[in-house]
Amino acid sequence: MVNTGAHSYHARFCFLLVLVSLSVEQVDGVWPLPQQLDQSAERYSLSPQLFSFTYGKDSAAQTGCSVLDAAFKRYFSIIFPDFTKGTENVLRYMWSEPQPFVVSVSVKTRGCDGYPDEDSDESYNLSVLEGQAVLRSVSVWGALRGLETFSQLVHQDDYGSYFINKTEIVDFPRFAFRGLLLDTSRHYLPLHAILKTLDAMAYSKINVFHWHIVDDPSFPYQSRTFPDLSNKGAFHPFTHVYTQSDVMRVIEHARMRGIRVVPEFDSPGHTQSWGKGQPGLLTPCYKGSVPSGSFGPVDPTVDTTYKFMESLLKEVKFVFPDSYVHLGGDEVSFTCWQSNPNVRAFMEKMGFGKDFTKLESFYLENIMNMTATLNKTSIVWQDVFDYHERIPQDTVLEIWRGKNYKTELSRITNAGYRVLLSAPWYINHISTGQDWRNSYAVQPQNFSGTDEQKKLVIGGEIAMWGEYVDATNLTPRLWPRACAAAERLWSNEEKTMNADLAFPRLNLFRCELLRRGIQAEPLFVGHCKHEYDGL
């Protein structure tokens, strides 16, 4: 491990120690790797008493900018944790005369009170010089990325002194959509677990929280229009729900970190829990000529279904500011539909014959049109592409099936649709060893297709499905494993294909996550200077 060597010398050569840890910490201590990073051995010491963030004179945003004011406060504590906790070692200033240091932040456009969206410009330039750093970006969201990078450039030597190296950075994301999916239906995730995850996402520059909020097992979203959905569909109507204010807190916590919140209301399948609070919504399954008592997917043959979905989607548009909404559309089983005489009659009437994919696309077309009418862009799982002829052209298709995802990338982009790649990043699948290397080896644009097709890959998503995950193991399973995909989606692929070169840097970043209170599991044998003390 990176620090091991250093420490074993500790008792013997303190001077050597400093050199060692420097030579270690200087090199590319930033995750994900910036597009251009030039560092020199020249270093400047920082002292919390004389350190400040400020707005550049020419900046469109000035004091009062909610997003950046909060970020300045947040990053000060992240950079100087012991100072903030009041545990810092005053002796350290015997070693070097404290110097003032100012980080000046300038943004071109204000937008402090808005939300990040698909067109947000996250690029930034950062120069660290003697006594000052200059951070320039188009948007406040780019400034947030730059502040994160700056915080990772600051290191602390073994006497507790802070320092930063002379650095020039030009940085921007490779993909605009860098998502993480959490599943709050198979297990309920308490609010603080979601907020903590948003913190760690910001540290890794992941910018979309895909909230798979409801599914078969439970419906924790407390709807204002249909309160019975959670009253009867949640694991518990009071302890295992997300109130409207919970949802607002998640959205605001995410906004402050430049993270979009895209909710998923998956239908017509994966809706068992919906049925408990919304009688008549699901298809009654039949055993022979009588209802069996069990229910199948949403019933696409009755008007009440569409009235319900329209009201629900109107609420969703009102509650979730992002212009995207995920409509699901995956894994619809036809057996229950087949068993139901009314559904069969409807198929007859519509001339669908025996082809239930026609019925499925009939349903989803209606839902996608509702969404379009609400000026929302739909994301749907790849299944929809397979059976559907008339998908609105701006629909985003998300690839989740592990087998031949490259073929799927070719087919869907060849049809001119935008795609999100998730299949190789289902990190709820675990195995012994360094499986982050598999995520890291993924090349999202390495499929047969034209340059135009490659451009249709808008990004990817890390998925943490909830069958075996709740608040007890979420964080160590996510971090640092999710960091591999985060770098793949942000950084230059040529500069980051070698996992062995990335390993020590990821190790340092994992230790930094621990220092920030994120329960990130180890990559391999070794230790961190600041171990996790949350137990």
Counting residues that bind its own copies (by CB under 8 A) gives 58
Residue 524 burial (CB < 10 Å; 0-12/13-18/19+)?
A: exposed
In the region spanning residues 82 to 141, those forming contacts with its own copies, defined by CB under 8 A, are none
Closest Cα to residue 453, out of 503, 410, 401? 410
The answer to the question of residue 527 lying near its own copies (CB under 8 A) is yes
- For its own copies, the closer of residues 158 and 493 by Cβ is 158
- For its own copies, the closer of residues 37 and 462 by Cβ is 462
In the region spanning residues 386 to 405, those forming contacts with its own copies, defined by CB under 8 A, are none
> Please, what is the end-to-end C-alpha distance for the chain in angstroms?
23
- Helices 66-79 and 140-153: crossing angle, nearest 10°? 10
Least distance between its own copies and beta carbon 530 (Å):
9
- For its own copies, the closer of residues 63 and 431 by Cβ is 431
The answer to the question of residue 15 lying near its own copies (CB under 8 A) is no
- For its own copies, the closer of residues 168 and 228 by Cβ is 228
- Note whether 261 and 322 are within 8 A (CB): yes
The residue within the footprint of its own copies, chosen from 119, 467, 494, 500 (CB under 8 A), is: 467
In the region spanning residues 199 to 228, those forming contacts with its own copies, defined by CB under 8 A, are 217-218
> What does the per-residue mask of binding to its own copies show for 487-526, with x meaning CB under 8 A?
---------------------------x----xxxxxxxx
- For its own copies, the closer of residues 343 and 427 by Cβ is 427
* Structure token digits, residue 402: 């592990």
- For its own copies, the closer of residues 100 and 227 by Cβ is 227
Instruction: Give the active site residue among 331, 348, 452, 531.
Output: 331
* Structure token digits, residue 41: 């051995």
The answer to the question of residue 466 lying near its own copies (CB under 8 A) is yes
Instruction: Determine phi and psi for 527, rounding to 5 degrees.
Output: -160, 170
The residue within the footprint of its own copies, chosen from 192, 349, 354, 403 (CB under 8 A), is: 192
The answer to whether 25 is a known catalytic residue is no
Cβ partners under 8 Å of residue 184, min gap 6: 194, 211, 212, 213, 214, 220, 242, 466
* Structure token digits, residue 234: 């949640």
Q: What CA–CA distances, in Å, run from 494 to 31, 37, 376?
A: 16, 14, 35
Least distance between its own copies and beta carbon 11 (Å):
5
Give the separation between CA 80 and CA 529, rounded to whole angstroms: 15
The answer to the question of residue 293 lying near its own copies (CB under 8 A) is no
- For its own copies, the closer of residues 11 and 290 by Cβ is 11
Least distance between its own copies and beta carbon 2 (Å):
12
> What does the per-residue mask of binding to its own copies show for 402-441, with x meaning CB under 8 A?
--------------------------xxxxxx--------
Cβ partners under 8 Å of residue 324, min gap 6: 118, 260, 262, 376, 377, 378, 379, 396
Closest Cα to residue 42, out of 56, 26, 54? 26
Q: What CA–CA distances, in Å, run from 126 to 36, 171, 259, 362?
A: 10, 8, 21, 51
In the region spanning residues 235 to 274, those forming contacts with its own copies, defined by CB under 8 A, are 235-237, 239-240
Give start and end residues of each alpha helix (H) in 10-139: 14-26, 66-79, 81-85
Annotated catalytic residues are 331
Binding site for its own copies (CB under 8 A): 3-4, 7-8, 10-12, 186-188, 190, 192-193, 196, 217-218, 231-237, 239-240, 276, 428-433, 466-473, 475-476, 514, 519-527, 529, 531-535
